[in-house]
Amino acid sequence: MAGPQQQPPYLHLAEVTASQFLEIWKHFDADGNGYIEGKELENFFQELEKARKGSGMMSKSDNFGEKMKEFMQKYDKNSDGKIEMAELAQILPTEENFLLCFRQHVGSSAEFMEAWRKYDTDRSGYIEANELKGFLSDLLKKANRPYDEPKLQEYTQTILRMFDLNGDGKLGLSEMSRLLPVQENFLLKFQGMKLTSEEFNAIFTFYDKDGSGYIDEHELDALLKDLYEKNKKEMNIQQLTTYRKSVMSLAEAGKLYRKDLEIVLCSEPPM
């Protein structure tokens, strides 16, 4: 067995499987914000070109800048100068490209969280692999998407291959939320603002003034605003409303318990 390779995974994307695609993605989306952009994009593109040269797909004299522009025109569908996972997934061969069709099915992060809530009954931030099929079929039902049993089986197997990388039979919320399109994936928004358990406890205690162990929608509103200001990030009212709604879909009867919020805001799910 060779040691783990620091080399970017192999980049002939036309033959790549969904799990290899995810490895490539994780390698280049270095800051984990759900986009490959700026320097990451250059690195990605250089590797892509190297892989193509290696397979004799292009001549050395090709202009890098031109090529990159062409690539962006083709794949950056919303022309924001960044590539998100669903855009890049267009490169994948059709049978591996279920990521794309899944993302088109999953409606909103609130629907996603409602389905998650049903399966993560112990609020651990994980669902068991054997519950995955039920979770996916719930999501597809919410999105009013007809699907057949073999298709569902195939989605389930592929997602297990992609997300249960350590084979422990558990799937984490932050990984699974990658099925959501970036703009719907409110968990990604907190990527750069993850708290340690100490920081989290201090914040939660501050907002849970009466020590009841839960906060309500208004307190969550204030907490999120604070978190954004502290991290000097811009946030408009519309975004705030969306995030609040998504986070509140974890709540029970309007009560958001400590453990639910911890799953969203902490770097590691509670053990």
Instruction: Label residue 235 exposed, middle or buried (CB < 10 Å: 0-12, 13-18, 19+).
Output: middle
Its pTM stands at 0.59
**What angle, rounded to 10 degrees, do the helices at 197-207 and 258-265 form?**
130
Q: Cα separations (Å) of 83 from 35, 71, 179? A: 6, 10, 15
- Alpha-carbon distance 203 to 71, whole Å? 44
Token pair for 118: 């049903």
Token pair for 58: 């292009």
**What angle, rounded to 10 degrees, do the helices at 64-75 and 38-54 form?**
110
210 Cβ neighbours under 8 A, 6+ residues apart: none
**Percentage of the chain with pLDDT > 90?**
6
Report residue 24's pLDDT band, with 50, 70 and 90 as the boundaries.
confident
**What angle, rounded to 10 degrees, do the helices at 18-28 and 98-105 form?**
80
Q: Which range is least confidently modeled, 13-17, 120-124, 168-172?
A: 13-17
What tens digit of pLDDT does each residue of 153-211 get?
888 887 887 777 678 888 888 778 877 776 677 677 676 677 888 888 898 999 998 88
- Alpha-carbon distance 44 to 65, whole Å? 13
Which of 223, 213, 172 lies closest to 193 in space, CA to CA?
223
Q: What is the pLDDT of residue 104?
A: 66
Average pLDDT, the chain: 77
Q: Please check the confidence at residue 102 and state whether its pLDDT lies above 80.
A: no
Beta-bridge partner residues of 252: 255
- For the chain, list the domains and their CATH numbers: 13-41+67-94 (1.10.238.10), 97-181 (1.10.238.10), 192-263 (1.10.238.10)
What tens digit of pLDDT does each residue of 50-92 get?
766 665 555 554 677 788 888 888 888 888 888 887 777 776 6
Q: Please check the confidence at residue 20 and state whether its pLDDT lies above 60.
A: yes
- Alpha-carbon distance 113 to 138, whole Å? 11
Q: In this structure, how many other beta carbons lie within 10 angstroms of the beta carbon of residue 78?
A: 10
